[in-house]
Every structure is written in structure tokens, then in C-alpha cells.
Structure 1
């Protein structure tokens, strides 16, 4: 290690100081040599004669002439003179050339001696145990004890790439929390010192603002200009960095924060302000696995499912498969409902839909893959990175629209769900003349809730205890607290309005929106069937209102047109004001659902009347659909590089979902009416079937994958388009692998059991068909594809 490295370590890490800029050193060499010398605060009277002599020989070997009086013990004046003559002149006249060959062995013995200068600050600590542990740490670091050096080594030394936007300097998390040693006995009691990893937020300056995003800097400009606070939301704050330190676990985050701020205050340099913030959840110690009643309960539930599924699978393979379906009794059917083998076969089973709805398989599968890609990209962009410049530039590129406007893809599911519900309910009403809405509602809740509840339970219990990392407490721990506070709002499907400041599972808002629309939809669908004119009027009015409401809310509230993908604002989506106030609200999503209902009604009329669509209409429809959907998706980049305009934002907020859904609706329309050709062949390919049916569970468990990835991250990433693509692909594979497990163990058995019990409850073929019709409608409207055995699998 060169002397330069040690200087920066001492100044930045230990004493909380920073080097004066290079211009100042040149302008006032004499003053700066003194300041730099004073900053090291060498005290020869605290060094042994042997160490002083060694230091003198070391400096002499490097070509420095040291006077004897400089090394004599004496008062403060001689100490200061020693500093000026030896260290100051070394820095001014001989740095870095004459010391370029200094090795770590030469400097390391001096390092602990200077750490003793922290003692006055340590004495300010009010926590006696914390103070004792810190003193012992500094004492043992002086003696180069392994555990003490390990603690020192685990923290960040010199930040790299700050001017380039390197945001997080994570040190070595595992090296820090693995430290554990006993202190000397005190009053007959032995105390244990453990390492505690803290990730401090360091504010380097914070006063001046400048357009650092669009500014052009030259090599001879001051580096401090780049570290000024950006004036635009697109700019990434390079004056704020996350800095890891390893401290004794006896000290609270508040005490560590006060210690660092006091050190920074007492050793600040003119022109530079340092301040530290360390929230409680940014300090972590090594945790032992401790189970509470919630963990045990969920563990018992898991074990119960595993035992039943294991027994049912064995019985199914060895016994039930040899029995004819007509000869199977209720007990056999109930048991086989839990068979992993049978449910896996159902996952891949395919029977063409009588309403030609098979293209929905491909649409849902592709949409879910793109949504998962957007989730992964959002977590990567919002996480630690080496090059924030990439984030600042990426939002301006039109080709990144699929990521910037990725939330728009969720409206595809709302529209498709509304379409299926309307089309299938109208078909059932034509056949039965009446459908009990209570059966439809209950069936939906039964199908969605069990797997949903299990995932929420995992968030509340085992997930938090399964891993660790620098950001684990801040991300996974925070999500756990939210779920413990708001789990009941999720299960009641009201979490997008109630306790939404404590939203459990960032993606769970969709289930609330979809369910709320599901309960309201029959109020429009039934009039469309019973009184078509009044139904059409009500649908038209609802559609107009669904467009006006987002416009008014956005305009009055001066909101963004969409959820903007600024890296600093998507770190924690659930705390984003736009996300909480508008993005997750049902009244902001109505237009997508209304278009789905309209599409279902139109296709029902066409299919029941046998109407043929002219080729001219098909071609014109493709042009309109392509223009509307592409413009809705990719024009969002305009809003990242222009001043805010409330009218423009409100207009885009109210119409961009309409434009996108028109495009998707047209694809469904031409496929269902037989005018899509090879496109329909592609969307109805058998490979989409299992992916589509796993979409619901994939949507549920994807948050586990994303939070685990960001929470366990040990290093910052360098972001490029290719790296993001590779990372998102791995996230998609992991998500679907986990979804397959959850579907087989928790979702599919409940769906199969529901089907068996409903069929048993019907005594006639007519009632049996009615139940199938109701079930068909519910599962087709599920927020994502569920594993089913019905004819179309939607």
C-alpha cells in the first residue's frame, strides 16, 4: 500500500476527513502542508523510543533528513514541529515520487497508533458497553489482532468511481458479522464483542445545486462540480453514497451515527461538509435461527401439505390409475386431487376451446414474461450500481420504452380478464338464463386465496430468516414488517386503498384491483344480456368516466403521466408517492377493464350471429392497432426530457392505456374471429399452455426472487443492456421454477378439490354443466392463468 492510500484511509474512513482539492494545495503550499500534517496528528511522545528510532531510520532510508529534536519527547510545540517538518514537508515536497515504493509492512505499524486519536470521541459515547467495546477494538487493532484487523478490513476504505456514480460501497458483509471474541473478564463476567455491519448514508456536500445531468465537464474542472445536487429528477445524486463500516454490535445505529457525525464535525476541512445517516435497519449482526409461533405454524402447514401430497401421489400412481374414472368414489377423487402426478399432467393438458379462445394462452404467457422482465430491470436499476450515468441516459432512449412503460403491460391482464369474464358469462346466460353470482364470487376467492395466503405467510415468517446481506434488512426486513401490519388487507383484497402505505408485496395491488372489478362487472354484463340497449349505454358511460377520472386526478394533483422509472424513485416502489396515490388505485385503471368488457360483448355478438369481417376492416384495424399500441408504449420517453406540463401529463395518463389496450384487443379479435392466420398459430402453440397456467403463481412468487436477489447482493453491478438482459432471464427462470412448485403443492390441489366437491354437489347433468360454466368464468378471469381441467384452460 502506498502512503497515499494510507493517507486517504486515515482521512476519509477513520477521522471522517477529506483531502482539500488539488488547486488549494498548489495555491497555498505552506498552509496545506501544515493542515495535512495536523490531520494525521502524529504524537511522538506516545510512541516508544524503539518505534521512534524505526520511524527515523525508515524516513532516512527514503532520503529525508530528520533532526534529533524532532524525535525528542516534549510538549505540544515540539510535537507540532515534528508533524510539520516530517509529515508536512513529506506531503508537500516529496509526495508521491519519493514514497512510491513504500510497502504495507512499512506503514501498517503506524496505522493503529493513529487510531488512538479517536479516543476523545469514543469517550463521548453514552452507552458504557458500546464505549468499552470500541476502546477494546481500537486497542486490539493497535496490536494487529486478527479479529480487530478483520473488522477494520471489512469496512469500506477508499470509495471507487464516485464521480462516475458508484452509489454503494458495500465492503465485506460476511467478514464483518463473523467477528466474535471475548473481552477480558470484568467483575467476574465475560462480555462478548460481535461484529456489526452498518451501511451509512454519507452526504458529501448538499448545498449547491447544478444541472449535473446535462452539463459538460472538462478534465481541468473542479471535481466538486460533479458532486453537486442535481436539479432534475433524472440526475443521480453523486454527492450521496452508501458506505459500509464494521463496528461492535454493542453500539446502536444511533450511537454509530452520532460518533461519525461528531468525528466529521471536529475534523472537517474548509469548503467540505460531511454528514452521516444510519437508519436502524441499516445495521445488522449475525442472526441465530429463532422460531416463533408463526414460523412453527407455517412450517406445520407446509409439512401437512407435503405429507398429504406424497401419500396422494403414491396412491394415485400405484392404485388409482388402475381404476376407471366412473368407478372412483368420492374419497378416491378427493385424495387424487392432491396428487402431484395428476396435477402436473393437468398443467400440460390441452383441449381446444369451443369459443376459439386459445390465443389467450400465448398472450398471457408472453405478457407475464415481459412483466417479470420489467420487475427484474426495475430492481436492478434501483439497486447498487457502479455507473449511474447509464440510468440517467437509459430513460431518454425510445427503444427502452418496453421497460420504461412496463407497468402498462399489467393492463393487458385487466383487459383480457374482463374480456373472458364478459364473453363466458354471456355464453352461460344464453344457455342457463341465470347464473348464481354468489357461486361465481366464492369460486374465485377459493381459487385465488390459498396460494396467495401461503405466499403472504412466507413473507411474514420464513423468508426473512432464510438469508442475509448488506441490504437484507432494508428490503426484506421492511417487506416483512409491512406484511405483518397489513396481511389482512391483502386477504380482503382492499390493500390498494386501506393501509397502502404499508403495502405487503409490491405487486399485490393488482389482485385487489382485479377482484374489485370482478365484483362490479356483473352490474354491466347482466344488463348487456338482459337489456342490450341499456347495457350498451351503461358500458359507454362507464368507459367515458374511466377516461375522465385519470385525467382529472392527474391534472388536479399535478401528477406524473405514468410511474416514472427514475432510479432513485423505484428503489422501494411501495413508498413511492405516485405509486401509492394513483398507480395502484382501481379508479385509475377502469379504461382497460371497460375495453375488455366491450371486446367480450362484441365478440359474443359476432360469434352468435355468424358475422364475417371484411378484409378491408381487418387491414384498417391492424393499422389503427399498431399505431395506437406502439405510440402508447414508446412515447413515454418524451416525458423524461421536458419540463412538466399538467395538461400533457393528464392527457397521456387518461389515454395511453386506451391506446395500448386497443392494440391487444385487436389481436384477440382477429384470433378469435379466425382472421389472424400464422399469428393465431403462434399464440395457440402448445408450449404456451403450461407457462400461461403458471402465470398466477409466477406473479405471486416473483417478489421473493427479486427481494432475495437485491437483499443478498454483496457487490455493486456495472449495468449494460446485455447484463440486464442476462440477469432478467435468470430471474424469469427462477420465478417459473418456484411457480411450478407452488402451483403443484398449493394451488392445483385446491382447484382440483373444488371441482370434485362442486360436481358432487350437483345431482343432475344440467346442474353439473351450470357449475362448470360458473367455474369456467371465474378461472378464466383469474389475474393470471390457473391450472385447470376445463375445456379451454383459461
Structure 2
């Protein structure tokens, strides 16, 4: 069976057929083949018919198995705990002091936090708006992939209308994930350098534990839901392909996700394929202190070493694309094997994605070292010109690749894979740097709007829930569409509302409560009195490096928020 549970199999024609339950898949296969043979006998057209047994469904309600029963009990238990915590929170509001352990799961408390737009001290405001922009672009890209699973009665006309150069914007899903790696590296670097400059103790063990408490509960809850609960919620011609088959994979390989090593095992056998980015980010997060310490201890040598790693990573992406004939963009005529090879050999391999993460580390260092930097009008103009060239080159440069007549060229693909992520991230790095140093304009003020605080808090849950929602609707689709235009298909209001509600539920039931518990379990050390401000280049001691990654200034809005990926 060719892998098609997460990427549409463009080269196959699929039919959904209703037959009596007594028919086997062999009966259906023979009958359809015979019918087509009779219809095309005089045309010279032949069909190779295959009915996959696992795609057959029978309306035969079965009692829940043991695992599903326990999964449902677990979710009911969490909901009950949240309700009891909310009741306690409301009933003790007038008391001088509440028990924080008892209010950790309070829906009132967590919803107030979620929709609060208050900024924390030291927050980098522009990051929230940039994350929102890339998250929206990523959702549209993922939605455009899911929509190709659906049947259309004018598929040829649809393909021709999408064969325009501008559609490369929707095909560049990999581009929109890079800023999340950039900001993960930046916030980690920014907070750690801040602590080193203030001579604060750094406890890395606590920070690794803190990160796990932040990202594991929502991830584990989603795996449990998609594996044992979601498959019972519907049916349809493609249900067993995009929901049932995926659940079977999760039953075997869920542990890889919780160890954050699932990105090494290939997309075709990966549970929750869109979470591969989480594995990459976690692995880079684990080694980030080493990079930061080298840069702090030996600034010039550290800078040279990190720039060398960036160069090696860029060259590796270029070389790998050429040698393996990969493609980071989806063009007309591509095949599913090439897409999976690209994902396995490059897209989910941390060293090939490390360039933008290291750029983030350098950006965090620059924000600390050059805080309050004075830029001349000429420097600002040149900076904005260079940033504009970068964003136009990353978006418009590969535009010919989106044309319906485009023929694959490994050099084009390699240049795009190697340099587009760098150009795209340089544009946002410049925006963050100038806005953080007080040089504002309409664009920086837009990205710094306080309302984007809410999208940042929801971003991790949106990242997790979008694919299950998309494929739930794909699996239960029983009628054909007529394609009118791209916008009418992409802007499915019901789907986006479902993603929003699912994200709110996941955040207030699992994300926020465990962040509350994390704060109670892991106490931040008090800052020591500092007689004088340490320069950015002051070396730290080895004992200082035995400790953290995230500043207490950055709770939910920091290295641990992810919307990505694909």
C-alpha cells in the first residue's frame, strides 16, 4: 500500500462504492474490474483495480475495546477535575488565600489567563504577530493539502486554475515553519544570556523538566484521542485511510512521539506526522546551551563556530537535494515518493533545519548585547531594503515552480531548499531587532499588537489540532465538490471554528493546568544582588552553566510555543 494517509495520492483514481455487507474485497475488486473492462473494451484504455481490505467498512456497531474505554474514562476524569477545580475557585474567591494546587485546573482561571493581553516584563512584542502570520499561512498550506483528498467533479479545471505562479505561496509550507525554529532559538538565547549577564544561577535540569511539563500533556492527550476515540466518531469512503490507518500507526509508535525521536523514523510510519517539528525543536533545544555557552565564553570564536555550522547546514541542504532529487515545494508532476523522501532525508532531519535555529541564537545574543542600539537613518533604510529583498526573493523567486508547465530542476530545488529559509527568517529577524530597539513603523506596530498574545498562547494547541480536524472532515466526506476558486475552498468557516474550539479545550484542560502545576513544582531562584551590570562579553563559570534555558520573564510566551508544521 502506497503511503497516502497524510499526503494525497495524486496519481490514483479513487472510488467509494456501497455494496452488501456479505461481499468481500475480492468480490468488489472483480466486479469493478469486469465492469470497467466491458465499458472500455473498444477504447484501448485499461485499468488496474485494487480494493484494499483495510479500506472496507461494515455498519456493525461493536462494543468499545478496553483501551478505548480507558481513554474515554481518562478524558471524563480530566473534565470532572476541571469542573471541581472551577467550583472551588469560584467558591473561595472572597477568601484571603486560595490553595493554588486546587485551582490549577480551574476553567475560570485558565480562560482568564488565555484571553489576557497583558504583557510580561521583558517580552519581545513583535514575535507574537510574526508567529500569528506564519501560523495562518501554515494552516492555509495544510488545508490546501487536505482539500486534495476530497472528490471534485471538475478536477481538471481545478488543477489548471491552480497552475499559476502565485500559488507557490500555498505550496511553501516548509517556509512557514522556519520562523518558529528561529524564535525558539532566539527566546532560549535571549533568556539565557539575560541570566548570565545578571549572574543569576542557571539550572538546566529544571528547564528540561519544565519544557516536558509544558509540551507533553497536550501532546499525550491528543495521541490518546486520535488513537482510541476519534476512529469511533465517524465513517466514510476515506475514513479508514486518513483516520483508521493513522490510528493503527499510533498504536504501534506512540512512544516515539513522547520521546521526541519520531522525526527519525520516516513520515510513512509516523504517528501525528505534523508533530515532526516538535521533535526537531526539542532536539535542538537540548543542545542549545552548548552553543550559547561557547558564544558567551569565547564571543569571537563562538560566533565563527556558529556561522560555520550555519554554512555547513546550508551546504548540506543543497547537496542532499541535488543528490537525492528532492523538492521542498509541491509542483505539478511531483509524486508521493519524492515528497516522502524530502520529508525523511531533509525536512525532518535536525542538522538540516539547524541553520535558522542558530540564527535565532545569534539574534537573541544581538538583542541582549546591542539593546538600545542607535541606528542612523541610512542604516535603517539599508536594513529595510535588504529585508524587503529577502522576503520578496523567498516568496517570488520560486514563483515559476508553481506553474503548471514547470519541469523539475534539481538546481532550482536545491537553491530554494538552501537559501529560502535564511532569506525568509532574515526579514523577520530585522523586524524583531528594530522594533525591540524602539524603531517603529506601521508594520512593527501591527506585529506588536497586544491581541496577538492570545494567538501565541493558543498556538501550540492549534498546531496540534488542525490536522485531526482537517482529516476528520476528509474521512467523512460522502459527496463531490465543485471547484469555483481557491479562496472559497480554503476559507471553510466551520473548520476554522472547530480548530479554535478544539484548541481552547486542549489549552484549558491540559496546557494551562500543567503550566500552573509546573510553577508550583519548580521554584525559580531569587536573583542575587548585582553590584554592577556585567558586560555582554563577560565569561560565565562552568558551574553557572549547569542550569536553565528559559527566563522566568517568559512563561507561556516563549521557546515552548509551537504552531507548525506540517
Distance 2:344 2:409 in 1: 21
- Structure 1 residue 777 displacement after superposition: 5.8
Q: 2:382 matched to 1:620?
A: yes
The TM-score normalised by the length of structure 1 is 0.64
Q: Choose which of 49, 55, 61 in structure 2 pairs with 1:282.
A: 55
Give the total of aligned pairs.
535
Q: 2:559 matched to 1:781?
A: yes
Distance 1:590 1:772 in 2: 17
Distance 2:270 2:467 in 1: 13
Distance 2:76 2:35 in 1: 53
Aligned-partner SS, 1:507: helix
Is 1:343–1:748's contact at 8 Å kept on the other side of the alignment? yes
Query: Which residue of structure 2 lines up, in the alignment, with residue 695 of structure 1?
Result: 459
Is 1:443–1:778's contact at 8 Å kept on the other side of the alignment? no
Q: 2:491 matched to 1:726?
A: yes
- Structure 1 residue 428 displacement after superposition: 1.2
Within-5 A mapping of 1:626-705: 626-640=388-402, 641-705=405-469
Distance 2:352 2:447 in 1: 29
Aligned-partner SS, 2:398: helix
Distance 2:86 2:202 in 1: 35
Is 2:128–2:453's contact at 8 Å kept on the other side of the alignment? yes
Give the direction of change, closer, same or farther, for the CA distance of 1:776–1:456 in structure 2 (3 Å limit): farther
Query: Which residue of structure 1 lines up, in the alignment, with residue 127 of structure 2?
Result: 360
Query: Which residue of structure 2 lines up, in the alignment, with residue 258 of structure 1?
Result: 30
- Structure 1 residue 742 displacement after superposition: 0.8
The structure with the greater share of residues assigned to strand is: 1
Is 2:153–2:482's contact at 8 Å kept on the other side of the alignment? yes
Aligned-partner SS, 1:596: helix
Query: Which residue of structure 1 lines up, in the alignment, with residue 66 of structure 2?
Result: 293
Q: 2:345 matched to 1:563?
A: no
Query: 1:645-673: CA deviations, max 9, x gaps?
Result: 32332222111111111111111112111
Give the direction of change, closer, same or farther, for the CA distance of 1:575–1:367 in structure 2 (3 Å limit): closer
Distance 2:57 2:550 in 1: 54
Query: 1:211-242: CA deviations, max 9, x gaps?
Result: xxxxxxxxxxxxxxxxxxxxxxx9976xx633
Query: Which residue of structure 2 lines up, in the alignment, with residue 504 of structure 1?
Result: 271
Is 1:404–1:564's contact at 8 Å kept on the other side of the alignment? yes
Query: Which residue of structure 1 lines up, in the alignment, with residue 535 of structure 2?
Result: none
Is 1:486–1:499's contact at 8 Å kept on the other side of the alignment? no
- Structure 1 residue 517 displacement after superposition: 0.8
Is 2:243–2:475's contact at 8 Å kept on the other side of the alignment? yes
Query: Which residue of structure 1 lines up, in the alignment, with residue 75 of structure 2?
Result: 302
Q: Choose which of 370, 376, 388 in structure 2 pairs with 1:606.
A: 370
Aligned-partner SS, 2:13: strand
Is 1:443–1:775's contact at 8 Å kept on the other side of the alignment? no
- Structure 1 residue 480 displacement after superposition: 0.7
Q: Bigger CA drift: 346-355 or 294-303?
A: 346-355
Query: Which residue of structure 2 lines up, in the alignment, with residue 242 of structure 1?
Result: 14
- Structure 1 residue 773 displacement after superposition: 5.5
- Structure 1 residue 642 displacement after superposition: 3.5
Aligned-partner SS, 2:28: helix
Aligned-partner SS, 1:718: coil
5+ residue gaps, structure 2, are: 1-7, 530-546
Within-5 A mapping of 1:329-344: 332-344=99-111
- Structure 1 residue 421 displacement after superposition: 1.0
5+ residue gaps, structure 1, are: 1-233, 787-794
- Structure 1 residue 391 displacement after superposition: 4.4
Distance 1:423 1:251 in 2: 63
Query: 1:370-427: CA deviations, max 9, x gaps?
Result: 2112211211134322222344334542322321213211111111111111111100
- Structure 1 residue 368 displacement after superposition: 1.4
Q: 2:322 matched to 1:549?
A: no
Within-5 A mapping of 1:456-475: 456-475=223-242
Query: Which residue of structure 1 lines up, in the alignment, with residue 538 of structure 2?
Result: none
Query: Which residue of structure 2 lines up, in the alignment, with residue 520 of structure 1?
Result: 287
Give the direction of change, closer, same or farther, for the CA distance of 1:781–1:711 in structure 2 (3 Å limit): same
Give the direction of change, closer, same or farther, for the CA distance of 1:446–1:615 in structure 2 (3 Å limit): same
Is 2:363–2:429's contact at 8 Å kept on the other side of the alignment? yes
Query: Which residue of structure 2 lines up, in the alignment, with residue 51 of structure 1?
Result: none
Q: Choose which of 518, 521, 531 in structure 2 pairs with 1:754.
A: 518
Distance 2:380 2:356 in 1: 22
Give the CA RMSD over aligned residues: 2.8
Is 1:435–1:774's contact at 8 Å kept on the other side of the alignment? no
- Structure 1 residue 274 displacement after superposition: 3.8
